[in-house]
A and B are shown apart, each in its own frame.
Chain A
Amino acid sequence: MVEFLQQLINGLSLGSIYALIALGYTMVYGILKLINFAHGEIYMIGAYIAYYLVMIFKLNFILALLLAMFFSAIFGIIVERLAYKPLRNSSRISALLTALGVSMLLQNLGLKIFGGDPKPFPELVENKAIFLGDIIIFNQQIIIVVVSIILMIVLHIIVRYTKTGKAMRAVAYDQEAAKLMGIDSNKIISYTFAIGSALAAAAGVLIGMRFNRIEPLMGMMPGIKAFIAAVLGGIGSIPGAVIGGLIMGISESLVVGYISSSYRDAIAFAILIVILLVKPEGILGKNIKEKV
């Protein structure tokens, strides 16, 4: 039981990270119907931006986090403008391949610019263990969960209660109709990429803080897993992405705790395959009928 609770706590903090990344996936997919494979790379770039900010300007954790989110948001907009915008009217396969290409490009540019060796991420927050009986909780895990919750609340407020958020929902619902109502859909798509990228960057900084090492390929697996989380929760659904992320994180922790850490990546795909066969629209997703 102790082991189970311990893994549950580990899974909760890992799941928060997945949830943050999954939010970006689900928002972009909701609007563009595009799996933005490069999203995991934004997470990596966010971590590196924070790393350099801390190393060069000696910023503290909060400032590094906020600035990394800001610069990654700009980076996300640039990627969208250069790579995805010219493909607005192409087939979905072209867009998917481009996303794959962008992802590989960023990975390999990362390897070239940052170097292939992992970098030691500075200890921004002193790691303290808190004992609850036999269960160990690290204060960094608490920070991850708290920061994630704050960001999710902010996102919820933006999407629900601001004009931009309303426009985002409109574009996701029907892009053509939204355009007819005078919504600048390109601008809204840029906002969406910016918000998604900022959340991914936050996840990258939090992971860097927790594990003290970052590398150019760190975005690959979390990126795919977060996508799976988005599918699991119902792609296009924001609460779904959070639920999906938490389920992914917890199940991965349980696999590591009870089976073997070498299967931690396989479980993600197993979950994906099961969910797509049993309930392809995801837990909170809408069932879309195919039309001729």
Chain B
Amino acid sequence: MEQYIIQVVIFMGINIILAVSLNLINGITGQFSLGHAGFMAVGAYASAILAKNYNLPILLTILIGAILAGMVGVLIGFPVLRLKGDYLAIVTLGFGEIIRVILLNMKITGGAKGLPGIPGGVTLLVSYFFALITVIVILNIMNSTDGRAFMAIREDEIAAEAMGVNITLYKVLAFAIGAFFAGIAGGLYAHFYQFLKPDSFNMYKTVDVLLMVVLGGMGSVTGSILAAIILTIIPELLRGFAEYRMIVYSLTLIILMIARPDGIFGKKEITDIISFKKRGR
């Protein structure tokens, strides 16, 4: 039982990384990406194969996997970031699917049969070490010049461009950073489950993460963390009703969008609500 709780909590850490990193792209920069599972898959497979075939320590392989995922993010970023809204969503969805199809057809990944025997070693400490770094980095980015540029793009792209924000650069940057952390989450996922199959990274995985971001509030890191925690625990509690899980999820998404499209926190952070200093907003 205790073992089980620890596993859920580790998984929660991975989900926090995923939600916060997707929030950087979707919420903070306002670029609606549906390719997060693809970036995650790149990090997961790269880290798993490096650790399995070359016996490298997992902390190193996770990092390499994340860098690789970040590079894929840049690679995808340049061509697609000329697109907006729905088009961007569908193209990133497409890229995610292409990554999955490629993994399915590669020899080194084991194809559809999956990749067993991945070295383990993801403890609570490892999982939350990375989660903490993710949150700190992204919060710091938000409060930096670059972060203001991200938010400016979200609010009004043309106005941001007129104010001298290099739109393409910042969009690619958001994609790269988001993909990098998705890669970290992927690496953790790989060494946590010690087994990978391409179908784990299908569209539903992206939607899982997306629901966290939307529930928490697009643009709120606090919200993403909270929603990641909630949406990790609820499926565990509803394990007996696993077949209804996706029905509940999709209904939640629809009702949320109709009733409260801003999610729990909207664009606010916890510090905006409970604050020691008065802040102008």
Known: A35-B86, A86-B258, A101-B257. A262 touches B101 (CB 8 A): yes
Which of under 10, 10 to 19, 20 to 34, or 35 or more describes the interface residues of A? 35 or more
Min CB gap A217→B, angstroms: 11
CB pair A97 B257 closer than 8 Å: yes
Is A185 positioned at the interface, with any CB of B under 8 Å from its CB? no
Comparing B11-19, B138-146, B187-195, B248-256, the segment that makes contact with chain A is: B248-256
Q: Which residues of A from 82 to 104 have beta carbons under 8 Å from B? A: 83, 86-87, 90-98, 100-104
Min CB gap A235→B, angstroms: 9
- Closest A residue, CB atoms, query B105: A262
Is B207 positioned at the interface, with any CB of A under 8 Å from its CB? yes
Q: Give the docked Cα–Cα distance between A277 and B158 (Å).
A: 20
Is A227 positioned at the interface, with any CB of B under 8 Å from its CB? yes
Chain B 241-271, CB-CB to A under 8 Å as 1, else 0, gives 0011011011111100110010000000000
Residues of B within 8 Å of A266, CB to CB, are: 97-98, 101-102
CB pair A270 B98 closer than 8 Å: yes
Is B164 positioned at the interface, with any CB of A under 8 Å from its CB? no
Comparing B1-9, B59-67, B88-96, the segment that makes contact with chain A is: B88-96
Is B87 positioned at the interface, with any CB of A under 8 Å from its CB? yes
- Closest B residue, CB atoms, query A260: B105
Q: Which residues of A from 142 to 173 have beta carbons under 8 Å from B? A: none
Comparing B50-58, B75-83, B120-128, B222-230, the segment that makes contact with chain A is: B75-83
Q: Give the docked Cα–Cα distance between A94 and B94 (Å).
A: 20
- Closest A residue, CB atoms, query B252: A101
Q: Give the docked Cα–Cα distance between A249 and B258 (Å).
A: 36
Q: Give the docked Cα–Cα distance between A220 and B151 (Å).
A: 34
CB pair A105 B95 closer than 8 Å: no
Chain B 226-243, CB-CB to A under 8 Å as 1, else 0, gives 000000000000000001
A contacts, CB < 8 Å to B? 33, 35, 83, 86-87, 90-98, 100-105, 107-109, 111-112, 224, 227-228, 231, 260, 262-263, 265-266, 268-270, 272-273, 276-277, 280, 290, 292
